[in-house]
Every structure is written in structure tokens, then in C-alpha cells.
Amino acid sequence: MAEEGPQEQNVQYQLPPELASGVYANFAVVHHESEHDITIDFCQLDSIPPDVPPEAGGQRVIRVVSRVHVARTFITPLLQAISTNAFQQEDTLRKQEEGESNEP
């Protein structure tokens, strides 16, 4: 019997309208809920107002805007996808900046 490779799957990507606008996050907390899942809390890290010194009770607030439970087996492909996308974006931005600096 011949060994078969992975079979191609048809997948339909759906984005519900209520999620289309997304949420902004500039901080994340990663922790383990169980031995099989990793939880990522995507957060907004608020800044301390400039006129409130820390000793006056000014504290930064971290507000969770989304909690995602991820299978451990999905972490490596997720990190690879993020890395690939980030490098492609850096290359694009670098090329744009180089093109702007070469203009008279």
C-alpha cells in the first residue's frame, strides 16, 4: 500500500460581523489552565496620567479585552505564523522607507 501525504482540506473562513472590528491589545498574559491548554489574556495597558505621580496613587491598569484558550499543539504553528507575518511586514516597511529616502 502506497503511503499518502496529507490530504487537502477545503475550509471556509468566517468572520462574524460582531467580531469584525476586533479589539486593541498592547499587552498579553500567558498562563496554563490545564496540561493541555494555554490561555492568553489580551489586555490594554493604560498609562498613568502625566499629572499623577505614582506616590499619589497613580497606578497603571491592565484590562483584559479578550481571553483565548489555545491547544498546546497549536502554539508552534501560531508562533511561526506571527513570526512570518512580522518579518514580511518589516521588509515591506523597510522597502517603503528606502524608497522614500531615495526620492529627491
What pLDDT, on a 0 to 100 scale, did the predictor assign at position 70? 94
CA pair distance 4, 75, nearest whole angstrom: 26
Q: Indicate yes or no: pTM above 0.75.
A: no
Helix, strand or coil for residue 63? strand
Strands 37-45 and 62-71 turn out to be antiparallel
What pLDDT, on a 0 to 100 scale, did the predictor assign at position 75? 92
What pLDDT, on a 0 to 100 scale, did the predictor assign at position 31? 93
**In this predicted model, what pLDDT tens digit does every residue of 28-83 receive, in sequence order?**
999 987 888 999 999 999 876 666 666 666 677 899 999 999 999 999 999 999 99
Cβ proximity of 31 and 38 under 8 Å: yes
Helix, strand or coil for residue 48? coil
What pLDDT, on a 0 to 100 scale, did the predictor assign at position 21? 93
Q: Domain residues of the chain, as ranges?
A: 22-101
Which three cell numbers, joined as nine digits, stand for 22? 476586533
CB burial of 53-63 (b: ≥16 within 10 Å; e: otherwise) equals eeeeeeeeeee
As a residue count, the chain comes to 104
Residue predicted with more confidence, 59 or 15: 15
Question: Residue 2: which pLDDT band, with cuts at 50, 70 and 90?
Answer: low
What does DSSP assign to residue 1? -
